[in-house]
Amino acid sequence: MYRKQLTIQKLLCMLSVVASVIIFIYSLGIMTDLYDSLYQTMLNPRDLTQTMVPGSYVYYEMQGFNQTFLKLAIALILVSLLLFITNTHVRRRYYIGNYFAVLLYVGCNIAVAVWAHSQIEIYKAKFLEVDFEALKTFSEMWKTLYTESTFAFDIHYAVFGLALVISVLHIANLVWKLVLMNAEAKLISGQAKIVSNPDDEATEVDRMRYEKNKLSANLAIIGIVFNALYFVSIYKSNAGSYYYAIIMGASILYNLLFMLIVFLASEGAKNYKSWYSYVLVLIGILQIARIFILPLRAHSTMISVSGQQVAVMSDAQFIRVIIYLVLSGICLIASGITLKRKSADLEAHLAAIR
């Protein structure tokens, strides 16, 4: 079983680097068509209103985004290489560095994907506001590229879709690794035996009647820790009166309920209460869904500070809180999955001995 798991583990690490390189190449090419078709229409880059094609200033508006996107793509490559630096691709047993590398890669991947998607959709909408009749006339006159295609924007679904699929597989592989490591640890300590018949296997499962399910409980607690980091980052923000709204009150209430429910679920997980697995998985999914509520709205909302328009939530904070929410959600989902598996094994064993 370890051989299959290690083969998949190595393949995932390689695909992680490939996906990061694809994102890097995409960041280099996303503005190619915009440059070829819109750049020469600008008469004065210092005054974006001076253009022969209304709406073509979107090219200059995207410059800042493209520079940040390029830097983040390079960062993703470095993070994916960390999987190899920590030998995560060949480790039979994971150590703290391996857990850190996997969770960092997954968190950064999802954070960049959400951020890039939100920005690309904004600039796609602005591109569609270009006066294409004027652009066509300009193109015919000066022999420049004419395009109405949004392919350069739309392809990000495939690019980041690949990265997100790899991230999900990393989490599945991590859970698989934890299960195998736990079984191996029991074998080494003498709590489990190499067995070849169902009776001996039942004896191994029987020990679960006297042992707490620490793995699922600890994953749930770690999920609470990442959520705490998230709301500390949000609540210490100073963005005028933006956060003095009902959405913040709802967020505070949700976080209080979140900590209470997840803590109770962690206690239930210790005792193999299987229905808590559904609670943990559901809350884990909600943690990721929260990205599209407060963080995304704050990042896309502009306020005036010292006469300048700035985002309520900066790119750096946006990416940071997304990572916190994603890691919290991943831990809770992993907790629910492991709880479901262990409780199912125990319930089947108890039914067999009655």
- What are the pLDDT digits (tens) for 41-56? 887 767 767 888 999 9
Tens digits of residue pLDDT in 263-286: 999 999 999 998 999 999 999 999
Burial 73-83 (b: 16+ CB within 10 A, else e): beebbebbbbb
Look at residue 200 and tell me if it is in a domain.
Answer: no
The domain boundary residue, chosen from 191, 221, 244: 191
pLDDT digits (tens, 9 = 90+) for 181-209: 887 777 776 654 444 445 544 555 667 77
pLDDT digits (tens, 9 = 90+) for 301-315: 877 766 677 778 888
How far is residue 175's CA from residue 216's CA, in Å, rounded to a whole number?
11
Q: Of the spans 234-238, 281-285, 338-342, which averages the highest pLDDT?
A: 281-285
Q: Is residue 205 a part of any domain in this protein?
A: no
Same domain? For 227 and 315 the reply is yes
24-56 in b/e form (b: 16+ CB < 10 A) is bebbeebbebbeebbebbbeeeeeeeebbbebb
**84 and 184 co-located in one domain:** yes
> Is residue 238 in a domain?
yes
Domain that holds residue 96: 1-191
Q: Are residues 176 and 48 in the same domain?
A: yes
Higher-scoring residue by pLDDT: 203, 31: 31
Gap between the Cα atoms of 103 and 117, Å rounded: 21
Give the pLDDT band (50/70/90) at residue 14: very high
Is the domain of 219 the same as that of 341? yes
Does residue 197 form part of some domain?
Answer: no
Do 129 and 257 belong together in one domain? Answer: no
Query: What is the overall mean pLDDT for the chain?
Result: 86
The verdict on 273 and 317 lying in the same domain is: yes
Q: What is the pLDDT of residue 310?
A: 78
Confidence of residue 252 (pLDDT cuts 50, 70, 90): confident
Q: Phi and psi at residue 93, in whole multiples of 5°?
A: -120, 135
Same-domain pairing of 57 and 184 = yes
- Element counts in the chain: helices (H) and strands (E): 13, 2
pLDDT number for residue 200: 46
156 and 217 together in one domain: no
Residue 258 shares a structural domain with residue 310: yes
Average of pLDDT values for 54-82? 92
Neighbour count for residue 185 (Cβ, 10 Å): 12
Do 153 and 26 share a structural domain?
yes
pLDDT on residue 278: 93
> Per the domain annotation, does 204 fall within a domain?
no
- Do 42 and 175 reside in the same domain of the chain? yes
Higher pLDDT: 204 or 230? It is 230
Looking at the structure of the chain, the number of domains it has is: 2
- Whether residue 234 has pLDDT greater than 70: yes
Confidence of residue 241 (pLDDT cuts 50, 70, 90): low
Band of pLDDT at residue 134, cut at 50, 70 and 90? very high
Question: Is residue 157 one of the residues assigned to a domain?
Answer: yes
What confidence category does residue 210 fall into, taking pLDDT thresholds of 50, 70 and 90? confident
Query: Does residue 55 form part of some domain?
Result: yes
What's the confidence (pLDDT) of residue 277?
A: 93
For residues 222-233, average pLDDT: 91
Q: Which residues contact 350 (CB under 8 A, 6 or more apart)?
A: 209
158 and 241 share a domain? no
Which pLDDT band holds residue 109 (cuts at 50, 70, 90)?
very high
Of residues 207 and 214, the one with the higher pLDDT is 214
Using the 3D structure, point to which of 191, 224, 255 is the last residue of a domain: 191
Answer yes or no: is 338 within a domain: yes
| % of the chain beyond a pLDDT of 70 | 91
What span, in angstroms and rounded, lies between the C-alpha atoms of 221 and 256?
14
Residue 182: per-residue pLDDT:
80
Q: pLDDT-based confidence at 352, cuts 50/70/90?
A: confident
User: What pLDDT does 180 receive?
Assistant: 86
Any idea which of 93-107, 119-133, 153-167, 294-308 has the lowest mean pLDDT? 294-308
